[in-house]
Amino acid sequence: MKSWLFVFLLLFSLQAQAVEPSSMVYKQSLLLASEGKIDQSIIALQAASAVLPQGDIWRERMIAASLLLRMQKQQLTRLVPIKHNDYLKLVDAYRQAHAKPQATQTWPVVLLASIFPGAGHAWLGRWHDAGVAALFVWPLLLLTLWAARRKMGPVTVFFALLTVWLWSGTIFSAISLAERGSFEVYMQWWQQLWQASALPGRPW
Start-to-end Cα distance in the chain: 47
By the rule CB under 8 A, 173 interacts with another protein: yes
By C-alpha distance, which of 126, 128, 132, 160 is closest to 146? 160
Task: In angstroms, give the least distance from the CB of 69 to another protein.
Answer: 15
Say how far apart CA 88 and CA 68 lie, in whole Å: 9
Q: Which stretch binds another protein (CB under 8 A): 21-29, 97-105, 128-136, 155-163?
A: 128-136
By the rule CB under 8 A, 183 interacts with another protein: yes
Q: Are 88 and 99 in contact (CB under 8 A)?
A: no
By C-alpha distance, which of 190, 196, 136 is closest to 168? 136
Count of residues near another protein by CB under 8 A: 22
Say how far apart CA 147 and CA 56 lie, in whole Å: 75
Nearer to another protein, 85 or 170 (CB): 170
Q: Which stretch binds another protein (CB under 8 A): 60-68, 90-98, 126-134, 145-153?
A: 126-134
Backbone angles phi, psi at 68, to 5 degrees: -65, -40
Q: Which of 136, 159, 186, 190 binds another protein (CB under 8 A)?
A: 136
Say how far apart CA 196 and CA 198 lie, in whole Å: 5
Say how far apart CA 65 and CA 43 lie, in whole Å: 11
Q: Which stretch binds another protein (CB under 8 A): 54-62, 97-105, 167-175, 193-201?
A: 167-175
Q: Which stretch binds another protein (CB under 8 A): 40-48, 77-85, 120-128, 149-157?
A: 120-128
By the rule CB under 8 A, 158 interacts with another protein: no
Task: In angstroms, give the least distance from the CB of 191 to another protein.
Answer: 12
Q: Are 101 and 189 in contact (CB under 8 A)?
A: yes
Task: In angstroms, give the least distance from the CB of 132 to another protein.
Answer: 5
By the rule CB under 8 A, 166 interacts with another protein: yes
Q: Are 124 and 181 in contact (CB under 8 A)?
A: yes
Q: Which of 6, 8, 127, 146 binds another protein (CB under 8 A)?
A: 127
Say how far apart CA 31 and CA 65 lie, in whole Å: 12
> Where along the sequence are the contacts to another protein (CB under 8 A)?
36, 121, 126-129, 131-133, 136, 165-166, 168-170, 172-173, 176-177, 179-180, 183
